[in-house]
Structure 1
Amino acid sequence: MSALLRLTPKPAWATPALIGLGLATSLAETMGITLIVAFVYSALGRAGDATAAVGGLLGQALDRAGAVFGSPALMALGILLLILARAFLAYANHAISARVSESISESVRNRIHERYLTAPYAFMQQHEQAQLMEVLGSESWLVADSYRSFTRILIGACSIAVFAIFLLALSWQITLTAVVGSIVMTMLLRRLSRPAQALGRQVKRVHQELGEQMLMTIEGLRTIRAYGQEGTHQERFVRSSAEARRLSMALTRLSALLDPITEVGYLAILFVIVAAAVHGGTSLATVLAAAALLYRLQPHAREIEGHLLFLAQIEPPLRSVRSMLQREVSTHGSQGHLPVPALRQGIRFEGVSFGYADGLPLVLDNVSFEIPAGRTTALVGASGSGKTTLIHLLLRLYEPVAGMIRVDRMPLQDLRRSEWLGLLGVAGQDVDLIEGTVIDNILMADAKASKNDVLDAARMAGVADFVDSLPEGYETWIGQHGHRFSGGQRQRLGLARALLRKPQLLILDEAMNALDNELEHRIREAIAERFSKSTVLIISHRTETACSADHVVHLKGGGVAL
């Protein structure tokens, strides 16, 4: 946990300030208890008896309190002021803690979201979507909770130290008995940590399973209903939900043991102290002060144990958050340093090889070909021949394991990534639509584009043909993954995105295979006219698609077919 907290920025003054306020609160409380003892004896007219009976440093403190306040009325006023001071200090402590905790939560959420956007694509592909949502949407909040628990443990420990000092000033025998009893009770409570960690791991696993079930239901709702699988998915969800309830109840029962164990333990310690005091002839004032101090010490000890148990429970999800924040996970590839204002000569693949994971066959093996600038190149091959993987390499989602991709004779990885991607427009057969309007989805390609540019791209891609019939036109809400739209309509939205960028390199990856021939022909003519001087890369498994291309590359089995 300490390593995780080091990864989260927070004001340098925060932890010392919280500990200082906690100490001040405990000091005000112990002084209040001392004054209460003095007040009781003073009200009975036996102030001197209290001082003589207690003796030592605390006896001197009682004597000084009597001299300062003089009368029981002033002493009661002092007690009231200490109570108010303690309340104010406690409020300040909670206010600062809340501020710092919320700042930590915000920072962690922002950093995890940035990590999702900038981490290597291969790293992100290694994680389930439900896990990524759980880390960002739920587990990231636990970092602030862990910091709050960490500071409360420190404050509680300091408070106990203050109480221990007062007890020691009262009687070293009573202090020794209390310390030995507290150690025994702490060792007993520590036995709860191991099952708490195990339950925490199980809770994380079940929550992830529930997340996967929810995603499957929402994203696959149409398929589930089309095949009549509602009962199967409901049964699976109910089973996971019941497991989550069982584990939650187990954690609740484990946490519920804390209060009775602590209360009974401190009651036993108090009983031993009173019995020893009576047997040893300790004064009533000393026993009364010790009982008051131990009674007020109990909540601090219980709070420490509660936070320790909580930290044990949340350790597994905190590990997941740390794995996303740790510095060892680099950002996606090289950002490059060479400017790339335009694509002038072309792109060349030189002996490029690539595999998605160690031990798996290469998807591309020693691939070499050229994409001339200002011309249309068709990349033709059967499904699984590596066509889409080549696009992933051009988009710098992955890096080749061997070989080199050159743009105008410069290594692709040395080009400034943002400038290079700014030259590209990509449309594929699978289009990811977001929750938003039609215009929102087109603007995914360029959030700063004008409405006229959006409408122009939509007309060129054939989006205008069906948008006019929608209830709110371009402001129509698309909904979850755009399931209400046909495959052809989705592809046209993807095309509009690519065309909006006015790219120098337009990549069409099976981008019109869901369109009818007439519409496809019309869109291709519009693209050819508008982008006659641009570089166009057409990816297809159909040989006839290459008829209009200036240059054709055939892929087969991960290599270039001669």
Structure 2
Amino acid sequence: MSVAFNSKWSTTVFPLGTRGPDGPLAPIARRYISWLPRIVLFGLLASLLESGSIGLLIPLLSLVVDGQIPNGLPTFLHPAVGLLNTLPEGQRVLAVAFAILLLISAKGMVQAANAARIAYVEGRISHDIRTALAERILSLNYPFFLKHDGTKLVNIIATDSWRAADVVRLIFSVIISISALCVFCVMLVLLQWKLFCFVVAGVVAIRAIQSLFLRKLRKLGQAVTEDNGALSQQMLLIINSIRLIRLFGQHDREHEAFREVSDRLRGSLLAVQKATASSMPRLEMMQSILFVAVLLVASEMAMSLPETTAFLVLLYRMQPRVTALDQARLGIAPLRASVEQVEWLLGQEDDPIPAVGGRPMPETHHDIYFKNVSYSYPTGSGAALSEASFTIPYGTSTALIGRSGAGKSTIVNLLCRLIEPETGALYLGNAAISEISAGAWRRHVAIAGQDIDLIDGTIAENIAYGRPEASLAEIEEAARIADADEFISRLPFGYDSRVGLRGLSLSGGQRQRIGLARALLVRPRLLILDEATNAVDGLSEQTIMQLLLEHRRFESALVVSHRRSTLQACSHGIVIEQGRVAESGPLRDLAFYSQMEAEDLETF
């Protein structure tokens, strides 16, 4: 869709967000700014048609009560009076009545057409907000997800994005209500400007009282957002920890915790609903007082009955617009917190050390070097890796050895380009890996082992996740090498069997086999096996040994394991202690590995 306006002014007129024309939601608003004049025009047209039908009440009542049209009517009625005077006296009442009905019908059709326009724009903006959030999450660097709570991100997409989209509908309601009120105000001025000034003074007083209430409602809306996030977090805790909860018999404890959070959210929602509900009767009472006061003032000003009636009807028909305006403003107030959450996520900047390289992957094969590499996670837990230097020789299987928390996972994340070094660099031969396109690099690195997620699809779809174009024969071959074909063939639907959310319908060992098949299918230059034999029914030592010795479907391997038998097929080794390289070189020359052999230790 073309953009009619692309200026800061346009986004200010069409507000979407709390950060103004330079905010993260402004680009979405600009895509649909061209719709705004049309929607406003249709709103003005509907209001003109309705106000015109009300204005015709003056000649109608005059004809019914007095039998004639008096002189001195407002200027805007002169054309209609001129037409009526050309008709026979017996047809004038019917002609005015027919004209009123015609104008009201036309107003209804215009309003329906405008409502359809608004629904279309609202739906498109809602879709754009959700897709923008999804694109932003997919583009953010890995450290962002280590730093921020996943529950908050889920809540922003699942709840706050919808609430932010509701603001669009309410904004259009505000714009249309204001347009209608402008038309009605012009009509009231033309009828009796002094009485209109009295009405304006009363409306200003009512607005001042309502503004005090809006401040309170914004605070209540913030509480709803916070409590809703806490509820989502508690639910995710239950879902992700259901096995732990059952094993330790903590059903009642978690249920009570969820009930307390849910009840707190209920209380916050109830507070918003009570506050909103109490505001409308208060507003209606103030409007009724103003209505009666206008009637008394009109009587003192000696206005004619038809003019007073038309003025009061116009004022009465303004009330739904005023009410819609108030409801929209009251509705926007508690949604502000959700809009701010959406803006926060859309406004997130990339990691300060992004992977910006654009060079293609070199065709020649080289060793991988770590040179004085340091990295600290954004959680502030200290250096995970400190001035690490070592080599992963090409065409070999290299063991990465170290106790839990030593820094092995950080090395794996660096090799996968999920994070970038704070100091130092990784090299492929003489080329800095940071200069190579991250996407191109990752296409030549694959990982399998523990904590490897599966998608909610079939087994074939999971194995082919890195190569969606792979044939079934290629998928089956990778599964046979990964020792997965046998158990897959026993399933009722074979490779078309669905694995469920995160593969929870399969055992840990079965998930590891599928993960290894997925890694082998892409034929990586570097295969990373991260605790690939730790599951009870996981990959056998024989399978790993054969895989590493034959180097089938990969060129180099990095093996992370606490088991000595798993490391026996490796020729080189790297020992990590507290984020530093303690020793590296041929595996059987390492003091750490020799000690394991001397003490006949299977694990460390």
Q: How does 1:360-509 map to 2 (within 5 A)?
A: 360-509=381-530
Conservation of the 8 A alpha-carbon contact between 1:351 and 1:365: yes
CA separation of 1:453 and 1:332: change in aligned 2, threshold 3 A: farther
Match of 1:558 among 567, 579, 596: 579
Label 1:332 to 1:464 Cα distance change in 2 as closer, same or farther (>3 A). farther
SS in 1 for 2:392: strand
- 1:38-53 superposed matches below 5 A: 38-49=59-70, 51-52=71-72
* In 1: Cα distance, 2:413 partner to 2:509 partner: 23
Distance in 1 separating the partners of 2:533 and 2:370: 26
One-letter code aligned to 2:95: L
1:263-342 alignment, distance < 5 Å: 263-326=284-347, 328-329=349-350, 333-342=354-363
Between 457-466 and 321-330, the greater mean CA deviation after superposition: 321-330
Q: Structure 1 unaligned runs (5+)? A: none
* CA displacement, residues 169-197 of structure 1 (integer Å, 9 cap, x when unaligned): 11112111111111111111112211211
Cα distance in 2 for residues equivalent to 1:517 and 1:33: 81
Q: 2:237 aligns with which of 216, 220, 228?
A: 216
Instruction: For 2:259 and 2:247, locate their aligned partners in 1 and report how far apart those are by CA, in whole Å.
Output: 21
Residue 479 of structure 1 and its aligned partner are, at CA, apart by 2.2
1:6 aligns with 2:19: no
Sort the Cα spacing of 1:329 and 1:558 in 2 relative to 1 into closer, same or farther, 3 A.
closer
1:98 deviates by 0.7
Do the aligned partners of residues 313 and 338 (structure 1) sit closer, same or farther apart at CA in structure 2, a change above 3 Å counting?
Answer: same
Cα deviation, 1:355-388, whole Å, max 9, x if unaligned, reads 0027532110000011122222211111111111
Whether the aligned pair in 2 keeps the contact of 1:439 and 1:474 (CA below 8 Å) is yes
Q: TM-score, normalised by structure 1?
A: 0.94
| Cα separation, 1, equivalents of 2:177 and 2:228 | 32
TM superposition shift of 1:549: 1.8
Q: Distance in 2 between matches of 1:394 and 1:116?
A: 21
Matched, 1:140 2:140: no
CA shift in 2, pair 1:332/1:204, >3 Å: farther
**Paired residue for 1:77?**
98
| Residues 119 and 331 in structure 1, CA contact (< 8 A), matched pair in contact too | no
Deviation digits for residues 336-363 of structure 1 (CA, Å, limit 9, x no counterpart):
2111144611211110000002753211
Alpha-carbon distance in 1 for matches of 2:464, 2:353: 24
Taking the aligned partners of 2:552 and 2:84, their CA distance within structure 1 comes to 95
The one-letter amino acid of 1:538's match is V
Separation in 1, partners of 2:545, 2:93? 97
Code of the aligned partner of 2:75: L
Contact 1:383–1:541 (CA<8 Å) still a contact in 2? Answer: no
Contact 2:527 2:554 in 1 (8 A): no
Q: Deviations over 1:418-442 (max 9, x none)?
A: 1111111111322212322222322
Instruction: Find the aligned partners of 1:93 and 1:530 in 2 and give their Cα distance.
Output: 66
Residue 556 (structure 2) pairs with residue 535 (structure 1): yes
1:173 paired residue number: 194
Do residues 106 (structure 1) and 115 (structure 2) align? no
Pair 322,452 (structure 1): closer, same or farther in 2 beyond 3 Å? same
Q: Which amino acid aligns with 1:399?
A: E
Instruction: For residue 308 of structure 1, give the secondary structure of its aligned residue in structure 2.
Output: helix
**Against the structure 1 CA distance between its residues 329 and 171, is the aligned structure 2 distance closer, same or farther, given a 3 Å change threshold?**
farther
Normalization by structure 2: what TM-score? 0.88
Where do 1:78-93 residues align within 5 Å? 78-93=99-114
Query: 2:508, 2:537 within 8 Å by CA — same for their partners in 1?
Result: no
Larger RCO (CA within 8 A; separation ≥ 6): 1
Contact 2:368–2:393, Cα closer than 8 Å, also in 1 = yes
Amino acid of the residue matched to residue 7 of structure 1? Answer: P
Distance 1:515 1:505, change over 3 A: farther
Are 1:183 and 2:201 matched, yes or no? no
- Counterpart residue type for residue 238 of structure 1: R
Superposed CA RMSD:
2.2
| Shift, 1:313, TM fit | 0.5
Task: Work out the CA distance in 1 between the residues paired with 2:532 and 2:240.
Answer: 22
2:75 alignment partner in structure 1:
57
User: Which residue does 1:19 correspond to in 2?
Assistant: 40
Change (3 A) 1:286 1:74: closer
Structure 2: how far apart are the matches of 1:34 and 1:413? Answer: 74
Greater displacement, 104-113 / 271-280: 271-280
User: Aligned partners of 1:5, 1:35: CA distance in 2, in Å?
Assistant: 45
The count of residues paired between Structure 1 and Structure 2 equals 559
Identity of aligned residues (%): 31
* Residues 206-247 of structure 1: CA deviation (Å, up to 9, x unaligned): 111111122122222222112111111111111122222222
Deviates more, 1:338-347 or 1:323-332: 323-332
Work out which of the residue numbers 545, 555, 558 in structure 2 matches 1:524: 545
8 Å contact from structure 2 (residues 164, 335) kept in 1: no
Letter in 2 for 1:122: P
Identify the residue that residue 207 of structure 1 maps to in structure 2: 228
CA distance, structure 2, for counterparts of residue 365 and residue 473 of structure 1: 47
Q: Which moved more, 1:443-452 or 1:314-323?
A: 443-452
1:444: how far off? 2.5
Q: Specify whether residues 424 and 188 from structure 1 end up closer, same or farther in structure 2 by C-alpha distance, changes over 3 A only.
A: same
Q: Determine the C-alpha separation between the residues in 1 that align with 2:176 and 2:385.
A: 59
Between the aligned partners of 1:139 and 1:332, the Cα distance in structure 2 is 30
Where 2:56 maps in the other structure, the secondary structure is helix
Structure 2 Cα separation of the partners of residues 65 and 308 of structure 1: 43
Report if aligned partners of 1:262, 1:298 keep a CA contact under 8 Å in 2.
Answer: no
